[in-house]
Amino acid sequence: MSLRVWIGNRTRGEWLLALVLMAASIAMIRTTIANGMDFEVYWRAVHYFLRGEGIYDLSRDGPMVFKYPPWWMPLFLPLGMLPLVSAKLAWGLVEAVSLIVVADRVRRMGVRPTIVLALVILGFAGLWAVHAFVGQISLPLLMLGLLLNPWTSSDRAVPKFALLAWAFSAKVFTLFPLVPWSAGLLRGGRWGRAILVTGVLLFILSLPVLSVTQGHSVP
């Protein structure tokens, strides 16, 4: 299919969705670079880790202490090795890609017409702006949940469960969606294997943080 034919086949809703996603992506990247206070917490935690210091220190960091479980630190290691502005740019790109992927997955799941999806994303512009303002992780978590999509397919259920348990364990409330799928694993006789694989994964990812934590434990 030629580019001209492809362009000609796009509906007004698809063009509106593309424009909304483009504007939202640019705005989120710019906002994350200019602000991103929560992201700076992740970035500083990596620097503490690389200096051999513990990442959980309330006396040093106060309310801006790293609040995620130790198995999340490896995700931020590459970003922490960049200068702060470059790291914020990279994280802003992650946020933008996450929103685009979420919109694509929702559209593939049957949300029609496309103009409705575009208007919903536009209507939540304030939410995306606040999300980017602090540099939070909820949008990438939503993307992971939709990409792995365990509730519509049983293929590779155990590794999907392990990856989602790792991702959603960043926050207590994001673990709740795993409950119904966990019941399905239990009925299928795969619960024990899923727990074992998940435990091994979280333990391995925690080793870097445990190695620099006083007493080799997380307070």
pTM: 0.84
- The span from the CA of 210 to the CA of 203, in Å, is 10
The predicted pLDDT at position 3 comes to 39
Closest CA to 103 of 119, 122, 113, 117: 117
Residue for token pair 């198995």: 71
- The span from the CA of 30 to the CA of 8, in Å, is 32
Low-confidence ranges of the chain (pLDDT < 50): 3-8, 219
The predicted pLDDT at position 6 comes to 40
How far are the Cα atoms of 16, 27, 115, 133, 181 from residue 20, in angstroms, in the given order?
6, 10, 10, 18, 33
- The span from the CA of 59 to the CA of 63, in Å, is 9
Q: Say if residues 162 and 194 touch (Cβ distance below 8 Å).
A: yes
H helices present in 109-216, as ranges:
114-123, 125-134, 138-148, 157-168, 178-187, 191-212
To 10 degrees, the CA torsion angle through 76, 79, 85, 90?
A: -100
Please give the mean pLDDT across all residues of the chain: 83
Query: How do residues 47-75 score in pLDDT, each as one tens digit?
Result: 999 888 888 888 888 888 998 999 999 98
The predicted pLDDT at position 194 comes to 80
Other beta carbons within 10 Å of 61: 16
Length of the chain, in residues: 219
